[in-house]
Structure 1
């Protein structure tokens, strides 16, 4: 299995362990700040919820205020109509009372006229008979002859009829006037009752308007209190967001510092790309590999964790173990646990670390590649060649493999894979 071509990461692993010791304090501080950031973000979320809830309450209170104002306007409009009706009713009462007074005056005038006419008739009789006011029979008995008797009787009859006619006329007029007066008085009483009812309604509407006005004042006070509370939450939210922004900047600086200690792939093309695992799986199977789709997914996960192109890790398995072809027989599943030959070789890890699987070994390989590619290659040198170049400062304690042609094989497989996956 090409033993002479590899140091199997023994020296590279030592470099990584030394780097880990150097960056421990950075990672610890970063973890603490990330925890604080998470707590602060949770606090911001709580404040946001409170702000939203308060804003919703304010909106509800404002709607309630608007409804109360609309209702108050309706009450005030109704109150104005009631006042108008009271004024109209008072006018009608005064008008009807004036008409009743006129009828009273007419009745008194009619009674005076009746008294006057009766007196006139009696005066006529007294004028006809010098002896004054005497009974009708006495007048008749004083007749001097039959002709005089007939004249006296005719006169008495005329006077009686005139008095009767006048009395009937006057009494009829008086009755009619009293009837009209009674009708007008009934209307006056009805108008007065209506005025009393309207006055009661006015008092109720005044009381209702005062209650609604008080409710508006109370709700407005609640709105002002809620707005102050919202402003307080907004200020706290602004302060918290400012703190979050500051913490994010600090974390970004820490992450940048940590990456500078740990190393980050400098070549953009060799950083993580979201290549569909199915395409990588199809490629290795075109070469007879025993890798399952889950194996390829595991390699992709490790590539993403350390920001390395998954095609590069798959290419390394091609250079190290020919993608673990099925024709190698039953040993292939053991090789597939460490196709990168980290920690000397798959034979060593199978004995020394039997619990290790592809997840562990792919993480070590990805971390190693990330570290070695964090150094910028010289102008004109291919970054994959630079990965195993002894001039690479990240290889000060040893390259990935001792075979000087190792990187060229990896480069070939990488380009072939990238062309395949498109």
Structure 2
């Protein structure tokens, strides 16, 4: 087989990286599915939206809290958030509660913007008052702090008013005028019309103030208000996708470290082996070419499989698909390892392992795309060489016949 030695070594090394990257990605997806990491990431994103950030005072404490949140983000919780009442009420809504499977991952892993806006509005508004939908939302925003289970900033008189408002909410048809009177007393005698068009106090929840601001931007139009809520959710989900990638990247690095050491995937040793062993190099290159031709849609198949995680009852199907691909890869890895195995006496280098870990962290799509380009480059460079060889053979035959004719 005619080929450039350096190119063949690179193809062999890239093929090794691809096999182990695919294996690491599949292991990461299985771990993610079993532990419900997508659901945890969604919960974390929603907690950032619906809870308030706690000011811990010193910059050192804030730094430690943010560092702890970054490390434990995969749990779906944050160390520096407070006021979870709206967050808890949001997840108690039927439209959210029944999206989950009720299993290990008891929270949904996917939520549409429409479901978010509906559940949030249902969490805020006061249903028992016989007024329009918009007034129910406005009223709910203003009594939110009053109806919290604990209000540490409230004085004795305000606690009495809060108790009266809670009793009023328990009635079947609360009186709107009485509501207005109690709210005026709560907000230090500020007159309030039936539209409750007053600013929220500065000590109010940041989240409630954010929602109130969007309601004001919508000019008290319910349809526009829902659109603004959905835009807010979509913007947060874009950032949440980045958070999830950071989490999975960290998991990939840990898995890559385990594979590099456990399977003795030392980049430097593999390069030396492929550079010296012609037979191993040619066999590995042929394996890479066959694998590339046989698995053109593998990456696309794995990416499409990720979308099925939006539907939690397809979790078992997803795991079965990944397990099937994993078994096939294990056979390919075993074959590839047999070609680049080195004697046990050959010392492994930490630097070689680090190079492997770094390479695996780049992900399978990167190495699959690179392998595809290298195989095409090798094929295109080999074709002119074969054409030139055939042309030279024809010219030689013609010349030989001419010599024979002259001699004869």
Question: Smaller-chain TM-score range?
Answer: under 0.3
> TM-score, normalised to structure 1's length?
0.22
The structure with the larger Rg is 1
> TM-score, normalised to structure 2's length?
0.22
